[in-house]
Amino acid sequence: MSLRVIQWATGGVGVAAIKGVLEHPDLELVGCWVHSKSKSGKDVGEIIGTETVGVTATDSVEEILALDADAVIYAPLMPNPDEVATLLRSGKNVITPVGWFYPSEKEVGPLEAAAREGGVTLHGAGIGPGAAFELFPLLLSVMSTGVTFIRGEEYSDLRTYDAPDVLRYVMGFGGTPDQALSGPMQKLLDGGFRQSVRLCVDRLGFAADERIRSSQEVAVATAPIDSPIGAIEPGQVAGRRFHWEATVGDEVVARVTVNWQMGEENLDPPWSFGPAGERYEMEVRGNPDTFVTVKGWQPETVEAGLVSNPGVVATAAHCVNAIPATCAAPPGFAGFFELPLITGRAAPHLAR
Indicate the residue type of 238: A
As a whole number of angstroms, the distance between CA 336 and CA 315 comes to 15
CB 226 within 8 A of CB 285: no
- CATH classification code of 3-126+313-350: 3.40.50.720
The pLDDT score that the predictor gives to residue 316 is: 98
Q: Map residue 5 onto helix, strand or coil.
A: strand
The pLDDT score that the predictor gives to residue 331 is: 98
Q: Break the chain into its structural domains and give their ranges.
A: 3-126+313-350, 135-296
Q: How far is CA 142 from the centre of its chain?
A: 24
Q: Map residue 98 onto helix, strand or coil.
A: coil
pLDDT digits 0-9 by tens, 58-67:
999 999 999 9
- Our CA dihedral for 133, 150, 260, 189, rounded to 10 degrees, sits at 50
Q: What is the DSSP string of 17-32?
A: HHHHHHH-TTEEEEEE
pLDDT digits 0-9 by tens, 255-267:
999 999 999 999 9
As a whole number of angstroms, the distance between CA 305 and CA 296 comes to 11
Q: What is the mean pLDDT of residues 139-158?
A: 98
As a whole number of angstroms, the distance between CA 247 and CA 213 comes to 8
Question: With bands split at pLDDT 50, 70 and 90, how would you rate the model's confidence at 6?
Answer: very high
Q: Cβ-count burial of 345 within 10 angstroms (0-12 exposed, 13-18 middle, 19+ buried)? A: middle
Task: Give the DSSP letter of residue 95.
Answer: E
Measured over the CA atoms of residue 177, residue 179, residue 182 and residue 187, the dihedral's sign is negative
The pLDDT score that the predictor gives to residue 232 is: 97
As a whole number of angstroms, the distance between CA 315 and CA 33 comes to 19
Mean pLDDT over all residues of the chain? Answer: 96
**Strands 71-74 and 3-8, sheet pairing:** parallel
**Rounded alpha-carbon distances, angstroms, from residue 159 to 37, 173, 263, 304, 309:** 29, 11, 7, 11, 11
Q: What is the mean pLDDT of residues 32-51?
A: 96
As a whole number of angstroms, the distance between CA 92 and CA 31 comes to 12
Indicate yes or no: pTM above 0.85: yes
CB 333 within 8 A of CB 100: yes
Say yes or no to pLDDT of 1 above 90. Answer: no
pLDDT digits 0-9 by tens, 164-183:
999 999 999 999 999 999 99
Question: With bands split at pLDDT 50, 70 and 90, how would you rate the model's confidence at 21?
Answer: very high
The pLDDT score that the predictor gives to residue 208 is: 98
**Rounded alpha-carbon distances, angstroms, from residue 129 to 11, 70, 97, 195, 317:** 18, 24, 8, 8, 14
Say yes or no to pLDDT of 199 above 90. Answer: yes
The pLDDT score that the predictor gives to residue 352 is: 86
The pLDDT score that the predictor gives to residue 26 is: 96
CB 322 within 8 A of CB 74: no
Question: pLDDT over 70 for what percent of the chain?
Answer: 100
Q: Where are the alpha helices (DSSP H) in 81-157?
A: 81-89, 105-118, 135-140
Say yes or no to pLDDT of 162 above 90. Answer: no
Say yes or no to pLDDT of 14 above 90. Answer: yes
CB 34 within 8 A of CB 57: yes
Contacts of 62 (CB under 8 A, 6+ apart): none
pLDDT digits 0-9 by tens, 295-327:
999 999 999 998 899 999 999 999 999 999 999
Quote the strand ranges of 139-289, DSSP E: 145-157, 213-221, 237-248, 251-261, 267-268, 279-287
Say yes or no to pLDDT of 88 above 90. Answer: yes
